[in-house]
Structure 1
Amino acid sequence: MKVLITGGYGFIGSHVADRFHKEDHEIFIIDDLSSGKKENITFKHKGYVLSVDDPKCEEIFKAVRFDIVIHLAAQISVVKSFNNPLLDTESNVVGLVNILSLSQKYHVKKFIFASSAAVYGVNGELPLSEEEECAPISPYGISKWIGETYCEKWNEIYGFETVCFRFSNVYGPRQNSKGEGGVVSKFVNNTLNSEALKIFGDGEQTRDFIYVGDIADAIYRSTNAPISGVFNLSTNTETSINDLAQIFQDIHGKVKVNMLPGKEGDIRHSVLNNRKLMNGIDWSPLYDIRTGLEKTYQWATRDRAQKEIAATTVEATDKPKNFAHVVKPFKAYIENIVVFLIIAWFVLTNDISIFNTTEIGVFYIMIFGAMYGIKQSILSVGLSIGLLTIEKLFEGREFISLLYDTSFFFQVALFLFIGLVVGYSVQRKTNRLQEQRQKMTELEQRYEFLEGIHTETREVKDELQLRLLNSEDSFGEIYSIIKELDELEPEKVFSKAVQVVKQVMDADNVSIYVFNRNQAFLRLVANTNFSQSAQKNSIKANEYEYIQHVLQTGTIFVNKELWPDTPIMAAPIYRNNKISAVITIDWMEFKHMSLYHENLFKITTELAGSALDRALRYIEATEANRFIPETNVLYLEVFKSILESKREQKDKYGMPYAVLEAFVVQQEIGTYANKLSNLLRETDYIGMLDQNRIGVVLSNTNRNDVELILSRFEANNISMRLLEGEM
């Protein structure tokens, strides 16, 4: 199975990933690394560094099609939830709703949500059962309670199978000091650091501590059990903080304990009844508190030793910043001032005779304004005005007299005008370039993300092809058969798809029906044996039970009861997460009606659907190169390609088609095509036959259909004649 674990690099998530990996499942992880660490996972998997509320998550669901989703990603600190309830809500509610919605949308078989004992709040009815009233006292507990409600409602509204686990205090290897079970991690760290254990209050407060390995095992078992709803995941055992400290002293040796004042609002006792879960999945915790703490302490000791060894072998890599790095932010200012000093020296020593100060100033302002923008332009203006003033004073003028000199003010105004115009223009251009670079960066990041998903999808497809190639039923042919689906024209994909399914499934008659816009009717677009079978060209969806089954469940239909006038198998093809077509097999040998061939049919139709989706996306991306601008008329070359596909289907499978033509003035093509399109079906095409002839391809059309269509055209003042096909 394909298993997605959100928060899979975290404490609990990494152990859950380990458990599923040991059972040979494919592991996928979404984690923003806010608390998780990639080094927690050491086996082969696919990871995405994303927040669970990121819209990019949909691209992952669309590409992978998960079987199981385990949602563990969350903000886990109760203290933080009080300090920043908005952040807590974004992570624990918005993120959950995003992943839950995507799981339902992309037909995940089971969704598992990590809730918490914090939903109960203060409740003295111990041990707490799932039926107890929820009255959370923290934003963290509220967000988990809301998450449970979402899961339950998704189950009620959509029939989507969800399981919510209310964790008690989880502890174990890889845990940091945050979260509800952090007391164990803190005690471990204090013990290894030879620091005193801090106990708040009298230490007689109790908690239900559960080892993380038991959590992972329960989650794994729940995916294979027919359960849904809310369950306590705990040991049903109380352990006091004093007992916890004593066990650490037994394991490590004497440890100092500091008794501190109790925390206000701290829950005195907490223990969860786990009977419902134990009965539901045939599970019980394997580790008691002493065994679990011993394993946690041993892991922490090894981890500490490894980190100390690594620290002694790694040299400091931080290098002092060199002079160039320090100077870089001031480079433009330094260059400006240096050039100005050179100009000032020439001007004041009368070494420049070709140009006067005004010309030199304008040139200087323009150069630095063009190079660096408004800041350096204004600086150049200021320096040039200063130089002009000093030159006038050197000539014997008084400063007061300059204030009445129109020539001087004209020169100053000229400097300001040139500086502002050049500086503003360059700055505006620079800002636009920066905006474009930002957009390019964002597009490149999105492209890299999508390219990674596409590459992964191709790897999965190639791996599947190799498996099929090496299977005992393939005889080395299936690989080459599936490669035929690598087309970018939908008509060719339809034709290739029925052939691929026929060869892979060893079936006699394979068809593809395409839904109309409201999914009320289906139109036959491809068939492997049209000339020798009584195939229906058009069918009404609500009149056939197998079509309703495919629409309602989104899964394969198998005619195990051998109903008449019903295909042996039918499978959906998706487009934009909506069923757009159905592939059917009308007959196959009885020995092939097995689970193996059902799975083979599922895989093959998924590949066909993927090829069709790719072709349609290609058409959307190249629409400007396919259609005459502002019309739905195909260019000549594109229209010819579709005609070739129709001829090929006719020659191979006997699929009828017809081509109509009409002479149209170039300027009237758009108007003429609009009138035609209102009278055609979704599977028909309008295109150019040459410069003055427009053509219509009528898919799956016999003689009677042509006569009917021509009469319909005539009734709407459209004159066309049959160019190719039966009449």
Structure 2
Amino acid sequence: QVVLFMKRHSSSFLTEEDSGGGLAVKAANHTRRILKAVFPYLENLIGFAVFYLLESRAAESQFVARLDFYLLYVLLFAVVYGQRQAIFSGFLAVVGYIIGQMGSRGGFDVLVDYNTYVWMAQLFIVGLVVGYLKDQLQFITGENRSRVRYLHGQLKDMEEINDSNVRMKHNFESQIVNHKDSLGKIYDVSSTLEQYGPEEVLFYAAQVLSKLMDCEDVAVYTVANGDYARLFSSTSRHARKMGNSIKYTAMEEMYGEIRERRVYINRNMEENMPMMASAVYSEDKMQLILMLWGIPWERMTLGEANRLTIVGFLIQNAVVRANRYLEALRNRRYVEGTNVLEESAFTLLAKAFFDAREKGLTEYVLLEILAQGENYEKVAGTLRSSIRQTDYLGILNGNRLYVLLSNTNRENADGIMERFRNAGYDCRVDETVM
């Protein structure tokens, strides 16, 4: 019923060419439609003039004297335009016929002549029948075209549904394959993380996460305080696009999900947000944020979210175990009364950063503090406000004091070096290969 109403009142609805245009465009389109509607009538009048001349000249020729040009005229416009123009051309033909007959006899004689009405009936019957057939043919043709367009639309929808089903089938096949070797993969995660030292776990957590989630772009952020997180390791430049430091609490949608210990899925396909993200907790405190960037949308499913959750728990166990181990050895690793790492502990840490940088997992800069034999406790206390929570103070190369700036390149280190100089300590970059 709605379709029938719209067809009957089609002139009341906005046409496709009027949508989105200004007043001038709409006026031009309206003028074009008027000319398109008037043109057949103008053409009909011109045709009538031509056939009127032919009819008036036919009486003088013995070859075409019996040819009815008015009938041909009506038949022509009925075939071309249908019933409406057939009626109009028939009316013009009757007027032309009466005018032509009045030249040889009186107008009253023409009007009371029986042959006149027989001719008029013949003219209108032929015109209306042919016009009706033309209109029906146009209607059937239009219906067929509409049906073909509809079927093409249906076929396109079916193709899209089929493509979606094929993608889902491949996804399910991938899940089945992964399910078959899931125990092996879980063991691989555990054994891979356990074979690294406590200082290296976080670096290779990104690598293991990338392998298990089949994602080339993975980033691991460590939560520095209540609002900010620092990039610790990543597997590609694309995974580092959010920068070395992020205010994760400002990312409302993502933060709302990971705060509830759920997996964040970027369903709106926001360009500046990861495709999936999850958080690692230790004793109800958020420790890490895992971000996956290179996942296609057809894999952003509940199954993938569950897999990320499981992998996150495995990484959590490895990280918590490493942190507890390091905490247990705190008295052996730090110079007493300071946050300065002993030479053996700092050497292992620097080597872990060096190996990770060689594999493209992180960046770092090693600075030597020219303390000139000052007490470590004094230097550490002075520089405490100038270094970040993710940086490390330690001893290397025979009681020399160093600072390891994590996820920092040479350009970014200049600002930190300037802060050290303002605090009263000169420093230099150490390019020593560990």
TM-score bin (small chain) = 0.5 to 0.7
1:656-693 Cα shifts (integer Å, max 9, x gaps) = 21000024455611111222222111111111013331
Q: Quick one: which amino acid aligns to residue 418 of structure 2?
A: S
What is the alpha-carbon distance in structure 2 between the residues aligned to residue 592 and residue 497 of structure 1? Answer: 21
TM-aligned CA deviation for residue 470 of structure 1: 8.6
Counterpart in 2 of 1:711? Answer: 418
Counterpart in 1 of 2:301? Answer: 594
What is the alpha-carbon distance in structure 1 between the residues aligned to residue 236 and residue 271 of structure 2? Answer: 19
Counterpart in 2 of 1:673? Answer: 380
| Identity score, percent | 29
Structure 2 contact 367–430 (Cα < 8 Å) conserved: yes
What is the alpha-carbon distance in structure 1 between the residues aligned to residue 185 and residue 324 of structure 2? Answer: 29
TM-aligned CA deviation for residue 487 of structure 1: 5.8
2:212 to 497, 500, 504: 504
1:184-224 Cα shifts (integer Å, max 9, x gaps) = xxxxxxxxxxxxxxxxxxxxxxxxxxxxxxxxxxxxxxxxx
TM-aligned CA deviation for residue 546 of structure 1: 4.0
Structure 2 contact 222–289 (Cα < 8 Å) conserved: yes
What is the alpha-carbon distance in structure 1 between the residues aligned to residue 335 and residue 425 of structure 2? Answer: 20
Alignment of 1:614-693 (within 5 A): 614-653=321-360, 655-664=362-371, 668-693=375-400
Higher relative contact order (CA 8 A, sep 6+): 2
Alignment of 1:52-67 (within 5 A): none
What is the alpha-carbon distance in structure 2 between the residues aligned to residue 574 and residue 616 of structure 1? Answer: 13
1:471 is the counterpart of 2:175: no
2:192 to 484, 495, 511: 484
Deviates more, 1:590-599 or 1:493-502: 590-599
What is the alpha-carbon distance in structure 2 between the residues aligned to residue 531 and residue 559 of structure 1? Answer: 16
What is the alpha-carbon distance in structure 2 between the residues aligned to residue 574 and residue 710 of structure 1? Answer: 34
What is the alpha-carbon distance in structure 1 between the residues aligned to residue 202 and residue 392 of structure 2? Answer: 15
TM-aligned CA deviation for residue 616 of structure 1: 1.1
Higher-Rg member (1/2):
2
What is the alpha-carbon distance in structure 2 between the residues aligned to residue 660 and residue 650 of structure 1? Answer: 16
TM-aligned CA deviation for residue 492 of structure 1: 1.0
Figure out how many residues of one structure are paired with residues of the other and give that number: 258
1:220-241 Cα shifts (integer Å, max 9, x gaps) = xxxxxxxxxxxxxxxxxxxxxx
TM-aligned CA deviation for residue 552 of structure 1: 3.4
What is the alpha-carbon distance in structure 2 between the residues aligned to residue 602 and residue 477 of structure 1? Answer: 14
TM-aligned CA deviation for residue 604 of structure 1: 0.3
Counterpart in 2 of 1:570? Answer: 277
What is the alpha-carbon distance in structure 1 between the residues aligned to residue 427 and residue 196 of structure 2? Answer: 30
Structure 1 contact 666–691 (Cα < 8 Å) conserved: no
TM-aligned CA deviation for residue 591 of structure 1: 3.8
2:201 to 479, 493, 496: 493
What is the alpha-carbon distance in structure 2 between the residues aligned to residue 614 and residue 546 of structure 1? Answer: 30
Structure 2 contact 371–425 (Cα < 8 Å) conserved: no
TM-aligned CA deviation for residue 484 of structure 1: 1.5
Structure 1 contact 469–477 (Cα < 8 Å) conserved: no
What is the alpha-carbon distance in structure 2 between the residues aligned to residue 725 and residue 538 of structure 1? Answer: 27
Larger fraction in helix: 2
Counterpart in 2 of 1:611? Answer: 318
Change (3 A) 1:555 1:490: farther
Q: Quick one: which amino acid aligns to residue 391 of structure 2?
A: D
Q: Quick one: which amino acid aligns to residue 410 of structure 2?
A: R
Change (3 A) 1:603 1:473: same
SS of aligned partner of 2:396: strand
Deviates more, 1:541-550 or 1:575-584: 541-550
Q: Quick one: which amino acid aligns to residue 697 of structure 1?
A: L
What is the alpha-carbon distance in structure 2 between the residues aligned to residue 666 and residue 624 of structure 1? Answer: 23
TM-aligned CA deviation for residue 619 of structure 1: 1.4
Change (3 A) 1:648 1:530: farther
TM-aligned CA deviation for residue 615 of structure 1: 1.1
SS of aligned partner of 1:694: strand
Q: Quick one: which amino acid aligns to residue 500 of structure 1?
A: V
Normalised by the length of structure 1, the TM-score is 0.34
TM-aligned CA deviation for residue 543 of structure 1: 2.5
1:402-441 Cα shifts (integer Å, max 9, x gaps) = xxxxxxxxxxxxxxxxxxxxxxxxxxxxxxxxxxxxxxxx
Change (3 A) 1:656 1:488: closer
TM-aligned CA deviation for residue 575 of structure 1: 2.0
Q: Quick one: which amino acid aligns to residue 715 of structure 1?
A: N
TM-aligned CA deviation for residue 523 of structure 1: 0.7
Structure 1 contact 487–615 (Cα < 8 Å) conserved: no
Q: Quick one: which amino acid aligns to residue 527 of structure 1?
A: S
What is the alpha-carbon distance in structure 2 between the residues aligned to residue 543 and residue 480 of structure 1? Answer: 35
SS of aligned partner of 2:431: strand
What is the alpha-carbon distance in structure 2 between the residues aligned to residue 563 and residue 638 of structure 1? Answer: 42
Structure 2 contact 219–239 (Cα < 8 Å) conserved: no
1:514 is the counterpart of 2:222: yes
1:526 is the counterpart of 2:233: yes
Change (3 A) 1:484 1:619: same
Normalised by the length of structure 2, the TM-score is 0.55
Alignment of 1:223-622 (within 5 A): 471-474=179-182, 476-486=184-194, 489-517=197-225, 519-530=226-237, 534-622=241-329
SS of aligned partner of 2:402: strand
Q: Which residues of structure 2 form unaligned runs of 5+?
A: 1-175
What is the alpha-carbon distance in structure 1 between the residues aligned to residue 318 and residue 330 of structure 2? Answer: 18
Counterpart in 1 of 2:8? Answer: none
SS of aligned partner of 2:375: helix
